[in-house]
Amino acid sequence: MYAKNTVIIGSSTGGFRIVGRIFSNLPKLNAGVIVVQHMLKSVNEPFKEKLNRNTQMEVKIAEDGDFLEYGKVYVAPSGYQLKIVKDRKIGLFSDGKVNAVRPSIDVTMRSVKFKSSSEDQIIGVILTGMGKDGVEGIRHIKRSGGITIAQDEDTSIIYGIPKAAYEAGVVSFALTPEKIRDKLIELCGITKDRY
Amino acid sequence: MKDRTLKGGFSIAFKLFFVLLFLILVLTGTTTFFVYVGSKEALREDMSSHLVDLATTTALMVDVDKHSQLDVGDENTGNYKEIRAVLQSVKAVNPKIDDIYTMVRSDEENIWLFVVDTHESKQIGAELTTTSHFYDPLMESALEHPVAGEEIMEWGSFKAMAPIYNSNGTAVAILDVDVCVEEEVEDFRAFRDYWLDLVKSTAQKIDGDNHSQLKIGDENSDTYREIKTILESVVAENPEIEDISTMVKSEDGAWFYIVDVYAMTPEIGEEYDVSPYPEMQLAFEGPIADEEITMDKWGVWLSAYAPIYDKRGTAVAILGIDMDVGHVLAAEKRLRSIIAIIFLGALLLSMIISILFARHFTRPIDQLKFGTSRVIRGDLSHRIESDRKDEFGELATAFNHMTVSLQEHIEKLKERTTEVEKLLRHKDDFITQLGHDLKTPLTPLVALLPTMEKREKDPELKELLEVTIHNVNYMKDLVIKTLQLARLTSPDVELIIEDINLLQKVNDVIKSEKFIFKKKDIKVENKINGKIIVTADKLRLEELFSNLITNAVKFTPDGGGTITIDAKKDEDFVTISVKDTGIGMTGKQLEHIFEAFYKVDESRHELDSSGLGLSICKRIVEKHGGKIWAESPGKGMGTTFYFTLKSG
Amino acid sequence: MKKKVMIVDDDPYILITIREIFEPEGFEVVTASGGRECLEELKKGFKGVILMDIMMPQMDGWDAIREIVARGYTEGNIIAIAMLTAKDVPDQKMEGLQEYVIDYITKPFDPKELVATVEEYFIYQKSKE
């Protein structure tokens, strides 16, 4: 079943711990969640496992052709650009690096095309990290009518990308990881299905 | 800059122009007006009195008895001719006089009757002045071909002329016919053609050779009489003819009559309506002259009248003199044009003067304006050049002194600022370096001591290690907070200012600190009005409340207490209060409470305070442009911290 | 196979500290006092988590990472690099290295937290080794 709510979380240096905090005690959201974390391939599995352990959502490494289903978390694998293609499917592309990274948060967020019904919600979250990958993505989501969240300064391991997004004026909320979790629950709601 | 000059210069020039214009015009105007009116008056007065005198004198010269005997038809009587001769002699000595006449009253009111009139045909050599109503510029071309007026002039006058040729074919004179029509002419073309033909044919009848031989005094010659007869016959056939004559033009362009037949001499008893002439009506009472110049078909006149008395002293007739005043009017016209020229000259003059004058004043003002604008833009090197010695020159000098002085001051300030900035940079570098240097030895301490403590089996040593760990942690905290405080004063620290809902923000902080409240059984009341908005940096605000609240908790003893947070909104700012029911403060303590490292209790370990929390709060509040202070009724009676923030 | 941690720092006390913290927890600790030594260890076949200090003489942390990437040690190896540094905020030299650096830990650090974090980088390795 297609998710009415789509959440894209972009994260860079320090994300291992921060995304971990967001997913800690995260119930099964009524949303399809994509996590784009700047990391080496060797960390993909540890990262996925860390998230999966603490949340009721089903976490997996994204594969080409996956449908964006509710209650599920798709982690972008290193070495590919992840885009949401037709019919809410995930596509992995061997395109070049964007902003010197692959996967690039901008690429994923900007691939989102809206909104077939007004009940749909797109939520973009940008977390700790250095540089600017994710700023344009967040801007795109904001401009398309979505909700954008940036991590606050205090808890950001490196307050670079969230700061840039915040100062660009494209951020709806600046929150701590725990509050981000709460916000996602508030916006998407919880599904009754037990995993 | 260019149009600024114009704008400024223009408005003052305008004002000056109008003022000057007004003054000059008023001056010249009144002067010339009075001169004109005065001279006109004088002239006319002069003319009038002269004419009146002449009329009076001439009236006395008339033989009243002979005059009274004249009756209709007596034009050829000796009496008539005698009186006429007398009048004509007066006329002869006064060339401007056009006519002298006598009149008597009739039975009808305002209808008088002519008696003797001196209108007559001109003698050979009489000049036709250009002011005479018989003159027409058309005459100048009459020597070449026949001409006639293009229209019937005022009062029904119409003129036709034709050249008179001698046997060689040269035009030696012109034949001039002056017509006076009383009724409307329906077909002007036909009318004109008729007269053109008439002058042409009549001119042909005259022998040009003979005509050329006529000299002054030849009135009795055969040639004269011959030509006169021709003319008289034309007059007989055409009663509208007022005058028919031959004329020659002299070398200097003046016209002279040769043979003239005047056909409109009034006969004895001819009626004349004097109702338009009030002065005439009064003439029977005494000599009088017209007030106004008369303009009629004979030209422009001034007339004077004198009564003719009989032996008993009764006025029985009037002697009238008409003087041609065309020349006077012409003179008056010239005078008026002179005045007009003077006025225009005054206009031009005032324009020039006011522009020059204004520029004299506005130029330095513009220089000053320009100079000021340059200074505003930051160019202090600009100097106003002025070689004037007046107040403007002084102003320019003052301005230049001012900018030089400003420049010097700013240079000094810049130097100071650069120095200060350099020092601040040094401070920042120092702090970064210090931070690194302090943290480096701390790292192994912080990391290794817990490990050692864990491994240590000896309980005594274990306790010593615990003491060491506690102190090392304290030092770590101190280092971090000191660096934080130092960074707050750095010019590079930016605040991200936004509108924040105070109630919500405080609730957030309370929520995140709720564990410490529970531990000491402290109740927290947030009384802030949900509508209050402040403008501040969100994170610093949280830090601020966090520090104040943890302080309030710290200084409340175990066993419970209440912390009350409230806010009051004034026009531009909000005053927030954090009140506790803790140990309170003495006056002395209140004085020093915000100083860095100041601790109210010497046993710092007990209360585990670095003494930096409140100085951090002070820095934050002051960076936001607010004030922070504390009040306490005394020891044991709690403390309230107040601070102000800009309202949103 | 034992979990390996390499600490790269020019401060010898830090090397001792890390060893004292991690060895009791069952880690094998490899020490390197600079970028050059780190590369040598990698050449020798190190696979595990690298804790890299930034402020080092001769080759700083970022340059060291660039060298590691250039020599292909990040391909297919189990390497997570976390910066261990007294600097609160990374500088511009980090640009381009985001995907190679999984964490940024400031000194002084909490030893328990550090061990727990590093532990997690090893969770669930499909037995390739």
Boundary (domain end) residue, out of B204, B227, B262: B262
Instruction: Give me the number of domains chain A comprises.
Output: 1
pLDDT at B640: 93
* Chain A residue whose CA is closest to B537: A153
d(C-alpha B296, C-alpha B170), whole Å: 37
- Chains touching C by CB (3 or more pairs below 8 Å): A, B
- Give the Cβ contact number of residue B648 at 10 Å: 15
Task: Please answer whether residues B448 and C18 qualify as being in contact, where contact means their C-beta atoms are separated by less than 8 angstroms.
Answer: no
- The answer, for B475 touching chain C at a CB cutoff of 8 Å, is no
Phi and psi for A89 in degrees, rounded to 5? -100, 155
Q: Does B439 sit within 8 Å of C86, measured CB to CB?
A: yes
- Of the candidates A78, A104, A106, A133, the residue annotated as catalytic is A133
Q: Does A16 sit within 8 Å of C103, measured CB to CB?
A: yes
CATH number at residue B500: 3.30.565.10
DSSP secondary structure string for all residues of B538-589:
HHHHHHHHHHHHHHHHHTSPTT-EEEEEEEEE-SSEEEEEEEE-SS---HHH
User: Is B15 inside a domain boundary?
Assistant: no
pLDDT at B602: 54
A173: containing domain: 5-188
Mean pLDDT of chain B: 82
Helices (H), chain A: 15-23, 41-54, 105-110, 135-143, 161-167, 177-188
User: Is B184 inside a domain boundary?
Assistant: yes
User: Is C129 inside a domain boundary?
Assistant: no
CATH number at residue C59: 3.40.50.2300
pLDDT at A109: 95
Residue B605 has pLDDT above 70, yes or no: no
- The answer, for C105 touching chain B at a CB cutoff of 8 Å, is no
Q: Model confidence at A37, in pLDDT bands (50, 70, 90)?
A: very high
Beta bridge partners of C28: C4
A12 carries an active-site annotation: yes
Instruction: Give me the number of domains chain B comprises.
Output: 2
Q: Is B147 helix (H, G, I), strand (E, B) or coil?
A: strand
Q: Model confidence at A117, in pLDDT bands (50, 70, 90)?
A: low
Q: Does B440 sit within 8 Å of C86, measured CB to CB?
A: yes
B230: containing domain: 127-262
Q: Does C13 sit within 8 Å of B443, measured CB to CB?
A: yes
Residue B607 has pLDDT above 60, yes or no: no
pLDDT at A76: 97
Least confident of B182-186, C26-30, C104-108: B182-186
- Angle of helix B391-455 relative to helix B326-376, nearest 10 degrees, comes to 20
Q: Does B439 sit within 8 Å of C108, measured CB to CB?
A: yes
pLDDT at A7: 95
Beta strands C79-85 and C48-53 are parallel
Residue A194 has pLDDT above 60, yes or no: no
User: Is C71 inside a domain boundary?
Assistant: yes
CA geometry: angle A172, A177, A182, nearest 5 deg: 70
Q: Does C17 sit within 8 Å of B441, measured CB to CB?
A: no
Residue A82 has pLDDT above 80, yes or no: yes
- Angle of helix B78-93 relative to helix B2-61, nearest 10 degrees, comes to 150
Q: Supply B46's token pair.
A: 């002069």
Q: Does A130 sit within 8 Å of C98, measured CB to CB?
A: yes
Cα-Cα-Cα-Cα torsion C25, C29, C33, C37, nearest 10 degrees, comes to -160
Total-model pTM: 0.48
How close, in Å, is residue C8 to chain B by CA atoms?
15
pLDDT at B297: 64
User: Is C128 inside a domain boundary?
Assistant: no
Least confident of B277-286, B357-366, B454-463: B357-366
Q: Does C11 sit within 8 Å of B448, measured CB to CB?
A: no
Q: Is the pLDDT higher at B51 or at B134?
A: B51
Task: Please answer whether residues A123 and A184 qualify as being in contact, where contact means their C-beta atoms are separated by less than 8 angstroms.
Answer: yes
Task: Please answer whether residues B159 and B180 qualify as being in contact, where contact means their C-beta atoms are separated by less than 8 angstroms.
Answer: no
CA geometry: angle B229, B235, B239, nearest 5 deg: 160
- Chains touching A by CB (3 or more pairs below 8 Å): B, C
Q: Model confidence at B600, in pLDDT bands (50, 70, 90)?
A: low
Instruction: Give me the number of domains chain C comprises.
Output: 1
**pLDDT (mean) for C84-91:** 69
Q: What residues of chain A lie within 8 A of the CB of C120, using their CB? A: 16, 20, 46, 50
Mean pLDDT of chain A: 90
User: Is A164 inside a domain boundary?
Assistant: yes
User: Is A104 inside a domain boundary?
Assistant: yes
Residue B595 has pLDDT above 90, yes or no: no
Interface contacts (B, C; CB < 8 Å): 52
Most confident of A28-42, B265-279, B290-304, C110-124: A28-42
Least confident of B386-395, B634-643, C94-103: B386-395
Does residue B110 come out as left (phi exceeding 0), alpha (psi in the -120 to 50 range) or beta? left
Position C119, amino acid: E
Nearest to A91 by CA among A131, A126, A62, A53: A62
Task: Please answer whether residues B115 and B103 qualify as being in contact, where contact means their C-beta atoms are separated by less than 8 angstroms.
Answer: yes
Minimal Cβ distance to C123: which of A40, A46, A159: A46
Task: Please answer whether residues A124 and A136 qualify as being in contact, where contact means their C-beta atoms are separated by less than 8 angstroms.
Answer: no
Minimal Cβ distance to C17: which of B436, B444, B476: B444
Residue C122 has pLDDT above 60, yes or no: yes
Least confident of A133-147, B599-613, C3-17: B599-613
C89: containing domain: 4-120
DSSP secondary structure string for all residues of B98-135:
EEEEEEEE-SSTTEEEEEEE---PPPTT-EE-TTSTT-
Task: Please answer whether residues A3 and A184 qualify as being in contact, where contact means their C-beta atoms are separated by less than 8 angstroms.
Answer: no
Q: Is B164 helix (H, G, I), strand (E, B) or coil?
A: strand
Q: What residues of chain B lie within 8 A of the CB of A152, using their CB? A: 539
Least confident of A77-81, B335-339, B412-416: B335-339
Q: Does B441 sit within 8 Å of C107, measured CB to CB?
A: no
Q: What residues of chain C lie within 8 A of the CB of B445, using their CB? A: 108
User: Is C33 inside a domain boundary?
Assistant: yes
Q: What is the ipTM metric for this complex?
A: 0.84
| CA–CA distances in Å: residue B396 to residues B270, B371, B399, B558 | 89, 9, 5, 76
**pLDDT (mean) for B394-404:** 84
A140 carries an active-site annotation: no
The pLDDT tens digits for B19-78 are: 777 787 778 777 877 777 777 777 778 888 888 898 888 888 888 888 888 888 888 888
Q: Is C8 helix (H, G, I), strand (E, B) or coil?
A: strand
- Chains touching B by CB (3 or more pairs below 8 Å): A, C
Residue B491 has pLDDT above 60, yes or no: no
Q: What residues of chain A lie within 8 A of the CB of C99, using their CB? A: 38-40, 78, 101-102
**pLDDT (mean) for B270-283:** 82
**pLDDT (mean) for B281-288:** 86
How close, in Å, is residue C40 to chain B by CA atoms?
26
B/e letters for A97-117, b = 16+ CB within 10 Å, e = fewer, are ebbebbbbbbbbbbbbeeeee
A133 carries an active-site annotation: yes
Q: Model confidence at A186, in pLDDT bands (50, 70, 90)?
A: very high
Residue B209 has pLDDT above 70, yes or no: yes
Nearest to B96 by CA among B35, B42, B50: B50
User: Is C125 inside a domain boundary?
Assistant: no
Between residues 2 and 21 of chain C, which touch chain B (CB distance below 8 Å)? Answer: 11, 13-14, 16-18, 20-21
Residue B488 has pLDDT above 80, yes or no: no
Q: Does A167 sit within 8 Å of B538, measured CB to CB?
A: no
- The answer, for B436 touching chain C at a CB cutoff of 8 Å, is yes
User: Is C127 inside a domain boundary?
Assistant: no
d(C-alpha B258, C-alpha B248), whole Å: 7
CATH number at residue A93: 3.40.50.180
d(C-alpha B613, C-alpha B543), whole Å: 10
User: Is C126 inside a domain boundary?
Assistant: no
Q: Supply A149's token pair.
A: 């969240």
